[in-house]
């Protein structure tokens, strides 16, 4: 009976990617010089589970590669090999290669075998050399082999401990092909004996015009890891011996007679048990759920919130004998609704470690490339965020962390000269604060250079030649489009596409980003995000006969102004003093073309709001209430409205518009008259 | 000058919902029509064209409402208990989009054959000119057939390719 296994492929891929993640994270910890046996075990188990699954489902290349990997890990686990920097680099590269292989297989694309073959060879080499006491040093490939597909067929690794590294030189005469010999066939036969690496020498190849197509201009260098005797190798070349010059020499390490590790059995017969073991290693009591199912749940809960608000309004107006029971029933319902809402929101929440996990590797590789020493400290990775927020916060965070390594942290010599530790530190913290998530990225590098920023801003015409800005305003300049003080655009950062996109991405998530910095001491970026995107805590405002909503996360304070607090400045604009700055007043009725109930500032209220690093005061007729509102898209059926981010449905079924504070602030600064 | 028939080769009749604006009768393809409902107050949208009255809550979705009467040049429009909104859906690059059209009243659903549809004479850029796909005579009455896709393309702010901001959860 044949079972159709393709239905399990998705689970296999998901679990394999997870296994790779845990392998990588354990490898990074290993790299710090602590050969913790538990970490090696974790890595071994991850490779083993991928091997089992891939063989069950017929992904032969992955199975074969992970088999070699597992053998090497076995040597490490049993302490027959020590963890060296070379080996851990090799293992990290294997993770990358496996990711690519899994990705290709998942997408149904053929696996690109070149890098796999090279890496597999290097792994096997280390295993072999272990027995012969030679320090492992994988040799790089010099030129592409004649047929990379070769290693795919029959690259079964035999008892590595007894294998020998043979070097074979094959130099055919020009009539090699004319006699009907196909070198690929020969290589295929050799590959059956062990692990083969083929390097073609193309030096004798003349130009197309001078070439005679039937002649052979190629020669090959081969390396074969096999436990087969020399006679078996020479036998493969029997038929062509006369037409070429062949040399077969044993490489470093004569055949070993000491009993090494017991020969690993050939690929175990694939059983469903291997796949089941992989599944069983999951935490008990968790299931995978499609995102659409959760989104549907959230939509329905959203509708419930609106219906509840409607019923609530109606029940306010109900009198009579049943009124009391009705009111207390509605209160109970409200409590239940709130609980349901919170529970459903939590279903979509994932720990931020999902995003943070890629940073240790990224920082390590980047620091290496830039010749800096950087230590990354992560805190609060269990902090949970809504899945959509998580997906969109990744890129901005990557950009910020890269900036820290690239521009923030100085080279070790510069740091030492400044009296700092040669190793720079980047702190990455996430925590809940009130109804928001706060993410902090802090470094002890050189900090923002205010003079450079001002000079650049002046050069770009963003700041007038005599204009003076406070330190805080100078720092805000980095968020302007096209702004970058990097002299050279590295492929890491500095393309000027950065900070403004970071800020607008965060603004799209209804969040905000602030920066603090001290010259010579370091910089600190603080990102604040709401817990969820679907529902927002809103303040209802009345402007004329319309109701608008401003998100609570953007509001600072509301107040009634007296005429003495307001100053009119040039162009008819009005400002008022708030704490220690002067803020412009935006009369919302003018922005939206409505007839207001209050025209005089002291007849209405001013709500101070914050966005894009700036604050303004919104003049409205009245504050109505504060409530949670479900965000409904305006853009699906209509389009973008300036100053408005989305819409919502109030308890009475009518539509209210939600203000886009950042946009309003931008509009205010472009307008001639308030 | 004769124009080749603009309809596809299907000779099967198609169904059209007819409605009245002022003295004229218009028609739209039935498959586009989602529902017909009475008039209710809309929420105004800032900086919208004069004929886009605002948005309405339609079973949880925010739907823009376009007053076709204003669009076609009427100056004196009333909103009475018999004023009707025809809610239609069109397929756009970003998926299905709904909007509502305010009309004076709906009439019958009629069957028309593609060969009976005559091309509309050039009306210039005046009201309704560019979204007419043809004219058909039914029982002595001239029905102006509208192309909904052209109507929505002109009315509502284009959502540019670079604009992928907030989607409702």
Residue-wise pLDDT for A516-528, tens only, equals 988 888 999 999 8
Which residues neighbour A73 within 8 Å (Cβ) at sequence distance 6 or greater? A40, A43, A44, A47, A91
| pLDDT of amino acid A527 | 93
* Structure token digits, residue A406: 């690239």
Cβ contact (<8 Å) for B46 and A508? no
Assess contact for A524 and A408: CB atoms under 8 A: no
Q: Going by DSSP bridges, is the β-strand pair A614-620/B52-58 parallel, antiparallel, or unpaired?
A: unpaired
Choose the closest CB to A591 out of B46, B55, B158.
B46
CB contact under 8 A, B169 and A644: no
**Residue pair A250/A165 in contact by the 8 Å Cβ criterion:** yes
Q: Contact at 8 Å (CB) between A638 and B157? A: yes
Query: Phi and psi at residue A102, in whole multiples of 5°?
Result: -65, -40
Distance CA A545, CA B43 (A): 10
pLDDT tens digits, B56-80: 988 778 899 999 888 887 777 888 8
Note the pLDDT tens digit of each residue in B74-121.
777 888 877 899 999 988 777 788 899 999 889 989 988 888 888 877
* pLDDT at residue A391, as a whole number: 84
Which of B45, B166, B167 to mutate: most A Cβ within 10 Å? B166
Cβ of A639 within 8 Å of Cβ of B156? The answer is yes
Residue ranges of domains in chain B = 14-155
A191 touches chain B (CB under 8 A): no
pLDDT tier at A31, thresholds 50, 70, 90: low
- Please report, for residues A5, A61, A124, A529, the alpha-carbon distance to residue A57 in angstroms, rounded to integers and kept in the order given: 7, 11, 24, 42
Query: Is residue A89 a contact partner of residue A28, using CB atoms and an 8 Å limit?
Result: no
Q: Do B61 and A637 touch (CB under 8 A)?
A: yes
Is residue A322 scored above 80 in pLDDT? yes
Mean pLDDT over A30-47 rounds to: 79
**In chain B, which residues have their Cβ closer than 8 Å to the Cβ of A508?**
165-166
- Using DSSP, state whether B134 is helix, strand or coil: strand
Chain B 50-79, residues with CB within 8 Å of chain A CB atoms: 54-57, 60-64
Confidence band, pLDDT 50/70/90 cuts, at residue A506:
confident
Strand order in the sheet with B141-146: B105-112, B14-21, B24-29, B141-146, B132-138
Instruction: Find, among A114, A200, A104, A96, the residue nearest to A150 by Cα.
Output: A114
Q: Compute the residue count for chain A.
A: 674
pLDDT at position A29 is: 79
pLDDT tier at A549 (50, 70, 90 boundaries)?
Answer: very high
Nearest to B45 by CA among A25, A473, A493, A594: A594
Q: Is the pLDDT of residue B134 over 90?
A: no
pLDDT, one tens digit per residue, over A616-638 is 999 999 999 888 788 888 877 88
Q: Mean pLDDT in chain B? A: 78
* Three-state SS letters, A427-443: EEEEEEECCEEEEEEEE
Give the range among A235-249, A554-568, B135-149 with minimum mean pLDDT.
Answer: A235-249
d(C-alpha A490, C-alpha A486), whole Å? 9
- Taking residues A372-388, what's their average pLDDT? 87
- CATH architecture label of B14-155: Beta Barrel (2.40)
CA distance B116 to chain A (A): 33
Interface check for A638 against chain B (CB to CB < 8 A): the answer is yes
- Could you give the CA distance from residue A386 to residue A510 in angstroms, rounded to a whole number? 13
Q: With an 8 Å Cβ cutoff, is B122 touching chain A?
A: no
**B162: contact with A, CB 8 A cutoff:** no
Q: What is the structure's pLDDT at A257?
A: 36
Task: Pick A633's closest partner by Cβ from B157, B163, B167.
Answer: B167
At residue A508, the pLDDT reads 78
CB contact under 8 A, B97 and A637: yes
Nearest to B43 among A303, A637, A656 (CB): A656
Q: For chain B, say whether A481 makes contact (Cβ under 8 Å).
A: no
Percent of chain A topping pLDDT 90: 13
Average pLDDT value for residue range B8-27:
82
The answer on pLDDT for A404 being more than 50 is yes
- Between CA A301 and CA B117 the distance in angstroms is 48
Helix (H) or strand (E) holding A591: helix A588-591
Q: Does B156 touch chain A (CB under 8 A)?
A: yes
CB contact under 8 A, B157 and A639: yes
| pLDDT tens, position by position, A259-268 | 333 333 333 3
* Higher per-residue confidence, A19 vs A189: A19
The Cα B66–Cα B152 span in angstroms is 9
CB contact under 8 A, A633 and B43: no
By C-alpha distance, the chain B residue nearest A303 is: B60
Task: Kindly state whether B167 is in contact with chain A, defined as any CB-CB distance less than 8 angstroms.
Answer: yes
Report pLDDT digits (tens) over A224-269.
888 878 878 887 887 777 778 888 887 654 443 333 333 333 333 3
Residues forming a β-bridge with B88: B33, B99
User: How many inter-chain contacts (A to B, CB under 8 Å) are there?
Assistant: 105
- For A:213-272, CB contacts with B below 8 A are none
What is the 8-class DSSP label of residue A141? P
Instruction: Pick the most confident of A211-225, A319-333, A335-349, B9-23.
Output: A319-333
Phi, psi of A639 (to 5 degrees): 170, -165
Least confident of A132-146, A507-521, A643-657: A132-146
Residue A162, pLDDT score? 60
Contact B57 A649 (CB under 8 A): yes
Q: Judging by DSSP bridges, how do beta strands A546-551 and A655-659 pair with one another?
A: parallel
Strands (E), A261-359: 349-351
pLDDT value at residue A272 = 35
The pLDDT-based confidence of A39 (bands split at 50, 70, 90) is confident
Does A298 score more than 60 pLDDT?
yes
Q: Which two tokens stand for residue A163?
A: 């294998």
Contacts of A636 in chain B (CB under 8 A): 61-62, 94-95, 97, 167-168
- A31-45, A185-199, A413-427 — which is least confidently predicted? A31-45
| Contact assessment for residue B18 and residue B108, using Cβ atoms and an 8 Å cutoff | yes
Task: State the pLDDT at residue A582.
Answer: 87
Closest CA to A128 of A237, A42, A23, A223: A223
Residue A33 banded pLDDT, cuts 50, 70, 90: low
Beta-bridge partners for A149: none
What are the distances in angstroms from CA A256 to CA A134, A158, A178, A263? 13, 14, 41, 13
Q: What is the pLDDT of residue A32?
A: 55
Contact (CB<8Å) B46/A641:
yes
**Chain B contact present for A64, CB below 8 A:** no
What pLDDT score was predicted for residue A656? 93
Which pLDDT belongs to residue A142? 34
pLDDT for res A469:
78
Which bin fits A299, alpha (ψ -120 to 50), beta or left (φ > 0)?
alpha
In this structure, of A546-555, A608-617, B159-168, the range with the lowest mean pLDDT score is B159-168
User: Given an 8 Å threshold on Cβ–Cβ distance, is A640 in contact with B168?
Assistant: no
CB contact under 8 A, A508 and B43: no
CB contact B92 to A (< 8 Å): no
Compute the C-alpha angle A463/A465/A469, nearest 5°.
55
Nearest CA in chain A to B65: A638
Q: A151 pLDDT exceeds 50?
A: no
From CA A54, how far away is CA A59, in angstroms rounded?
5
Provide the sign of the torsion angle of the four alpha carbons A455, A457, A460, A464, taken in this order: negative
Chain A residues touching residue B166 (CB < 8 angstroms): 508, 533, 631, 633, 635, 645-646
Residue A66 tokens, joined: 């992970």
Q: Do B165 and A640 touch (CB under 8 A)?
A: yes
Please tell me the least confidently modeled range out of A364-368, A384-388, A623-627: A384-388
- 3-class DSSP state of A630: strand
Residue A391 is encoded by which pair of tokens? 């997906």
DSSP SS3 for A410: coil
The pTM assigned to this predicted structure is: 0.55
pLDDT band per the 50, 70, 90 thresholds, residue A389: confident
């Amino acid at each position: 009976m044949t079972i159709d296994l393709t239905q399990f492929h998705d689970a296999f891929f998901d679990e394999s990617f997870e296994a790779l993640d845990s392998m990588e994270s354990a490898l990074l910890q290993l790299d710090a010089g602590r050969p913790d046996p538990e970490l090696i075990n974790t890595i071994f188990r991850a490779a083993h589970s991928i091997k089992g699954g891939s063989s069950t489902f017929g992904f032969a290349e992955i199975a074969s590669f992970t088999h070699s990997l597992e053998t090497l890990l076995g040597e490490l686990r049993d302490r027959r090999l020590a963890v060296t920097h070379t080996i851990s680099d090799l293992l990290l590269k294997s993770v990358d290669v496996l990711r690519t292989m899994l990705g290709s297989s998942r997408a149904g694309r053929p696996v690109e075998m070149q890098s796999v073959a090279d890496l597999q060879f290097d792994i096997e080499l280390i295993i072999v050399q272990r027995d012969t006491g030679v320090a492992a040093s994988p040799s790089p490939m010099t030129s592409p082999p004649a047929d990379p597909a070769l290693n795919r067929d029959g690259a079964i690794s035999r008892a590595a401990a007894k294998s020998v590294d043979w070097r074979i030189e094959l130099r055919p005469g020009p009539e090699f092909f004319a006699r009907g010999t196909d070198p690929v066939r020969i290589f295929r036969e050799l590959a059956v004996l062990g692990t083969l690496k083929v390097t073609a020498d193309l030096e004798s190849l003349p130009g197309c015009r001078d070439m005679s197509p039937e002649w052979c201009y190629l020669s090959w260098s081969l390396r074969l890891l096999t436990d087969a005797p020399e006679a078996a190798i020479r036998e493969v070349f029997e038929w062509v011996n006369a037409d070429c010059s062949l040399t077969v020499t044993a490489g470093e390490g004569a055949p070993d007679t000491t009993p090494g590790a017991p020969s690993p059995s050939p690929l175990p017969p694939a059983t469903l048990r291997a796949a089941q073991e992989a599944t069983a290693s999951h935490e008990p009591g968790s299931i995978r759920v499609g995102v659409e199912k959760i989104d549907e749940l959230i939509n329905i809960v959203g509708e419930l919130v609106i219906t509840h608000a409607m019923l609530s309004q109606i029940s306010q107006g109900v009198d009579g004998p049943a009124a009391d029971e009705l009111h207390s029933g509605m209160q109970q319902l409200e409590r239940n609704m709130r609980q349901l809402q919170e529970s459903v929101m939590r279903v979509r929440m994932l720990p931020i470690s999902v995003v943070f996990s890629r940073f240790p590797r990224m920082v390590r590789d980047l620091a290496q490339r830039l010749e800096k020493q950087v230590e990354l400290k992560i805190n609060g990775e269990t902090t949970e965020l809504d899945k959509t927020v998580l997906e969109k916060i990744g890129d901005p965070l990557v950009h910020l962390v890269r900036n820290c390594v690239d521009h923030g942290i100085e080279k070790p010599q510069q740091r030492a000269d400044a009296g700092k530790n040669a190793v720079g530190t980047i702190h990455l913290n996430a925590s809940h604060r009130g109804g928001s998530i706060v993410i902090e990225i802090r470094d002890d590098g050189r900090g923002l250079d205010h003079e450079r920023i001002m000079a650049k801003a002046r050069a770009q015409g963003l700041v007038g030649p005599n204009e003076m800005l406070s330190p805080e305003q100078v720092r805000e300049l980095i968020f302007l489009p096209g702004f970058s003080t990097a002299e050279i655009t590295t492929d890491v950062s500095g393309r000027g596409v950065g900070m403004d996109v970071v800020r607008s991405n965060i603004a799209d998530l209804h969040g905000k980003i602030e920066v603090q910095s001290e010259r010579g001491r370091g910089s600190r970026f603080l990102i604040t995000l709401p817990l969820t995107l679907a529902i927002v805590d809103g303040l209802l405002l009345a402007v004329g006969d319309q109701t608008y909503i401003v998100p609570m996360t953007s509001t600072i304070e509301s107040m009634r102004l007296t005429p003495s607090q307001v100053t009119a400045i040039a162009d008819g604009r009005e400002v008022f003093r708030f704490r220690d700055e002067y803020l412009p007043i935006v009369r919302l009725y003018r922005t939206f073309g409505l007839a207001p109930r209050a025209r005089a500032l002291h007849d209405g209220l001013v709500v101070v709001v914050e966005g894009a690093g700036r604050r303004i005061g919104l003049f409205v007729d009245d504050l109505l209430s504060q409530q949670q509102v479900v965000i409904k898209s305006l853009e699906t059926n209509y389009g973008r409205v300036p100053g408005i981010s989305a819409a919502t449905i109030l308890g009475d079924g009518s539509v209210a518009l939600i203000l886009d504070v950042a946009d309003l602030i931008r509009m205010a600064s472009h307008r001639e008259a308030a | 000058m004769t124009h080749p028939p603009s309809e596809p080769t299907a000779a099967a009749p198609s169904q059209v919902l007819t409605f009245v604006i002022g003295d004229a009768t218009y028609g739209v393809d039935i498959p586009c029509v989602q529902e017909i409902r009475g008039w209710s107050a809309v929420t105004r949208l800032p900086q919208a064209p004069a004929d886009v009255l605002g948005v309405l809550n339609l079973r949880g979705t925010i739907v823009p409402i376009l007053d076709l009467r204003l669009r076609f040049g009427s100056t004196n429009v009333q909103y009475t208990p018999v004023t009707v909104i025809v809610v239609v859906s069109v397929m756009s690059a970003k998926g299905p989009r709904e909007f509502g059209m305010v009309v004076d009243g709906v009439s019958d659903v009629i069957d028309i054959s593609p060969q009976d549809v005559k091309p509309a004479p050039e009306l210039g850029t005046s009201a309704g000119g560019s979204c007419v796909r043809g004219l058909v005579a039914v029982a002595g009455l001239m029905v102006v057939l509208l192309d909904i896709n052209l109507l929505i393309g002109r009315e509502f702010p284009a959502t540019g390719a670079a604009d992928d901001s907030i989607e409702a959860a």
